Amino acid sequence: MARIVVTGGAGFLGSHLCHRLLDRGDEVVCLDNLITGSITNIEDLFGQPGFSFVELDVSTFIHVPGDVDAVLHFASPASPIDFERIPIQILKVGSLGTHNALGLAKAKDAKFFLASTSEVYGDPLVHPQPETYWGNVNPIGPRGVYDEAKRFAEAMTMAYHRHHGLDVRIVRIFNTYGTSMRPDDGRSMSNFIVQAIKGQDITVYGDGSQTRSFCYVDDEVRGFLALLDSEVVGPVNIGNPNEYTILQLAETVIDVTGSSSKITFEPLPVDDPTQRKPDITLASTKLGWAPEIDLRTGIERTTEYFRSVLAAG
């Protein structure tokens, strides 16, 4: 059993991670300022042995009494709607928050795990994207607040690794979906499913030819734990290499949900990547990891979740 701190532990991915860590017998200290996370995601964990929650903005400071074996830094808004709504907070949690989390890991002689993103590749000129690709990012565009925050976080993590000898892991997360997503998340998957359930027009930006690779959350978290327990520093891509156009996703959501929704088209947002697909050779060979849940099954599970959330108001 290990004692593990999860920043952003009430968020979409962080909450799933807290559940999995507890299931395998670890003790979890969940930190979250609830700016995008929700107590609803972790309320079933309150009262469980080994779980504690602290409402905290990790951009200001982090103090955790007692021994800590690992610090998993998942705190950061990650949805396109957040890039315009709270850009300064995103930059702060990627810089100051990462610095504070690294400082905690160093003080506790703990392993540090950084949740980075495929956004570090920007609008990629290499396809699929291997970890060796340096990316094509617009640092001053609206998406730059998230992209550059994560690129800085990776640089700081490796500086602590090289300068202080800190044991670190870096994961680059590709488009992930599943239960515990916010209905108003602003990402294509949540937008499409919620619109389909409500019978609204499904809004596709651009002509829908841009591609993404969608990984169901259970597969994603399984990859996190494989990396955490390995000796691989990373960065390591964890994502589903099956690539779909956004238009294909919209059509699949309509089919799975049985919706009468029509597809409408809106202008493409600034710097929206034209393609995104992970090269998972490293994860496959070094971690023995590969996704198992197909897109239709994942959409069915996510739709069931959103139906219950919307029904509850």
Is 146 among the residues known to form the active site? yes
- Do the Cβ atoms of 153 and 161 come closer than 8 Å? no
Which DSSP string do the residues of the chain spell out, in sequence order?
--EEEEETTTSHHHHHHHHHHHHTT-EEEEEE--SS--GGGTGGGTTSTTEEEEE--TTT-----S--SEEEE--S--SHHHHHHSHHHHHHIIIIIHHHHHHHHHHHT-EEEEEEEGGGGBS-SSSSB-TT---B--TTSTTHHHHHHHHHHHHHHHHHHHHH---EEEEEE--EE-TT--TT--SHHHHHHHHHHHTPPEEEETTS--EEE-EEHHHHHHHHHHHHTSS--S-EEES---EEEHHHHHHHHHHHHT--PPEEEEPPPTT--S---B--HHIIIII-------HHHHHHHHHHHHHHHHHT-
Active-site option among 121, 133, 146, 244: 146
Catalytic positions, written as ranges: 146
